[in-house]
Amino acid sequence: MSYPIPLPPIPALSAPADAQRWRRAFPGELDQACAARRFTAALLAGCPELDEVLLAVDELVVNALRHTKSGQPGGTFTVEITRWDGAVAICVGDEGGPSEPVVADAAEDAESGRGLRTVSLLAASWGWFGNDRSRTVAALFSAASLRGAA
């Protein structure tokens, strides 16, 4: 099984050099969204807004699987967690796709289409970089929104 080229941390995060960082690659299968949540939960035990962070991880992973080559047979995605001074950044790297990640308005009765809107409401900020071959979508949970995090 081949894995995507490791992605560098997002430079705009400005995490200090001593920040804790973890990264793991997952097979591009829908059941791996649960594995990505477990990976994140184990690393961020005690984080006061863990539920919000886990929801954001889930949304970003599911988007990678539904909208990029990561969800195709043999595809993979990567989850990176960075933690420092009470802040947490989550990054999901995928194998790229034909469209750019955007916050969309979903119809009231739509069964999907709210993922990035949810992330944008939960996180202090979010963004992405990359192209149709490799992309990273990140969300930052600031120290202010994570008061009391270890």
pLDDT, tens digit (0-9, with 9 covering 90-100), for 95-117 = 999 887 767 676 666 455 567 88
In a domain, 147, yes or no: no
- 74-107 burial: b if 16+ Cβ within 10 Å, else e: ebbbbbbbbbbebbbbbbbbbbbbeeebeeeeee
CATH number at residue 36: 3.30.565.10
In a domain, 95, yes or no: yes
Give the 3-state secondary structure of residue 27.
strand
Closest by CA to 15, choosing from 108, 107, 65, 89, is 89
In a domain, 148, yes or no: no
In a domain, 13, yes or no: no
Predicted TM-score (pTM) of the model is 0.82
**Residue 100's domain spans which residues?**
19-141
In a domain, 121, yes or no: yes
- 43-64 burial: b if 16+ Cβ within 10 Å, else e: bbeebbbbebbbbbbbbbbbbb
Strands 135-141 and 125-130: antiparallel
In a domain, 9, yes or no: no
Domains of the chain: total: 1
Beta strands per DSSP E along 8-147 = 20-27, 76-84, 87-94, 125-130, 135-141
Residues 50-58 have a mean pLDDT of 95
**Mean per-residue pLDDT of the chain:** 83
In a domain, 3, yes or no: no
